[in-house]
Structure 1
Amino acid sequence: MQPSILLASGSPRRKELLEQLGYQFSIVRTDVEEVRQTDESAYDYVVRLSKDKALAGVALAADSVVIGSDTIVVCDQTVLEKPNDYQHAKEMLMRLSGRSHQVMTAVTVASKQKQETVVVTTDVWFKPLSEQEIEQYWQSGEPCDKAGSYAIQGIGGRFVTRIEGSYSAVVGLPLFETDQLLHKFL
């Protein structure tokens, strides 16, 4: 009998992406604190969060295969988290304006027996942004809960001039890599 699949995420975007792969799965919400440790690299941070989420899911349902994922935005070696308020979002978006940054998404698939993690890094370029564009974007509500204060699949997509890498990873779950990992567990 094939084990059940759990997605350890409350993100509607990750749910939609996993649905595109055609798997039957359930959602489990895990309570993983997303705080970067002192001297932790961006890579290690995103890997740790995805593993923590997957393993928290396994702890809740030991007979399942659990997918944990996390996405961060990195600019000049600085991790841009979700904004605290408008001023914080404005600072982040001004920093991304007219240049490139990286979006790192880690996905971990775990079971009671094993775990495996893949990190996908995508380069994203923004057009130059005006303060008016940033304020209007903030008023839309979209940047409030997004790493780096933007959503490529939403209104924020208008700021993106090009990407090199995985679009689905920027949204929150790299489809190819997730599918490849799941094949190792099912």
Structure 2
Amino acid sequence: MKLHTKHSFILASESPRRKEIFSRLNIPFGVQPANIDEKVEGSYTPEDLAIKIANLKAIAIAEINPDAVVIGADTTVRIGKLLLSKPTNKEEAKQFLKLLSGRVHNVITGVSIRGAGISLAFAESTLVKFYELSDEQIDAYVESGDSLDKAGGYGIQTMSGLFVEKIQGDYNNVVGLPISRLFQTLLQLQLIEISKGVN
């Protein structure tokens, strides 16, 4: 299946994981991190918070690229009533993983689409259950340095995927971008089209 678009796309993210996932659409796009302050005042549901930050990222880049379609995204992890973003240091990463050990948590990614007269956002949620983790497993993973740039302190696509007992929902959403839902949304908005024929 080939896709085509008349629009210029920009992914407002510095995440190599989001870049890799978005590239599966096989349409031209640029990458331009928003570098915004992600601290948001007020009380939000996890879904609304992820959408709020995704919107801030997309708006910041759309304002300086008015002719482009900008995609912003933000991922957070909810365990009980707690929201876990990116850990600030190794000790916090270990605390996050101890919280997740043996329990079900919710990975939520907000996605914002801005440009070409479009202003739309949605949130996708995936349930993830971890095995019981030993201190040895947690310490070894955190010492690898992999946990510090990832919401919840882990990346399902790396070695910490070995901690996952099961998931319910979109795997790519846990990695950082629910590409299937984004694909369907871009089709519905007619921002991308499926090429006809066999060329």
TM-score by length of 2: 0.89
Query: Of residues 158, 163, 169 in structure 1, which corresponds to 2:173?
Result: 169
SS at structure 1 position matched to 2:73: strand
Q: Is the counterpart of residue 51 in structure 1 residue 55 in structure 2? A: yes
Question: Is contact 2:90-2:143 (8 Å) kept?
Answer: no
The residue that corresponds to 1:102 in the other structure is 106
Amino acid at match of 2:68: S
Q: How many pairs does the alignment contain?
A: 186
The residue that corresponds to 1:93 in the other structure is 97
Distance 2:134 2:30 in 1: 42
The residue that corresponds to 2:86 in the other structure is 82
Distance 1:123 1:174 in 2: 13
User: Mean Cα displacement is larger for which, 47-56 or 110-119?
Assistant: 110-119
In the TM superposition, what is the alpha-carbon distance from 1:141 to its structure 2 partner?
0.8
Distance 2:104 2:146 in 1: 21
Identity, % of aligned positions: 37
Amino acid at match of 1:50: A
Structure 1 spans left out of the alignment, 5+ residues: none
Question: Is contact 2:156-2:175 (8 Å) kept?
Answer: yes
SS at structure 2 position matched to 1:129: coil
Distance 2:66 2:180 in 1: 25
Distance 2:7 2:182 in 1: 16
Query: Of residues 8, 12, 15 in structure 1, which corresponds to 2:12?
Result: 8
The residue that corresponds to 1:26 in the other structure is 30
Q: Is the counterpart of residue 140 in structure 1 residue 154 in structure 2? A: no
Distance 1:3 1:45 in 2: 28
RMSD: 1.3
| Rg comparison, structure with higher value | 2
Question: Is contact 1:169-1:175 (8 Å) kept?
Answer: yes
Deviation digits for residues 55-100 of structure 1, max 9, x if unmatched? 1111010000010011101101211011111221111101000010
Question: Is contact 1:109-1:181 (8 Å) kept?
Answer: no
Distance 1:49 1:126 in 2: 27
Distance 2:117 2:14 in 1: 25
TM-score by length of 1: 0.95
The residue that corresponds to 1:155 in the other structure is 159
In the TM superposition, what is the alpha-carbon distance from 1:185 to its structure 2 partner?
4.7
Question: Is contact 1:116-1:181 (8 Å) kept?
Answer: no
SS at structure 1 position matched to 2:10: strand
Distance 1:66 1:7 in 2: 6
User: Mean Cα displacement is larger for which, 86-95 or 152-161?
Assistant: 86-95
User: Mean Cα displacement is larger for which, 57-66 or 34-43?
Assistant: 34-43
After TM superposition, the runs of 4+ consecutive aligned structure 1 residues lying more than 6 A away are none
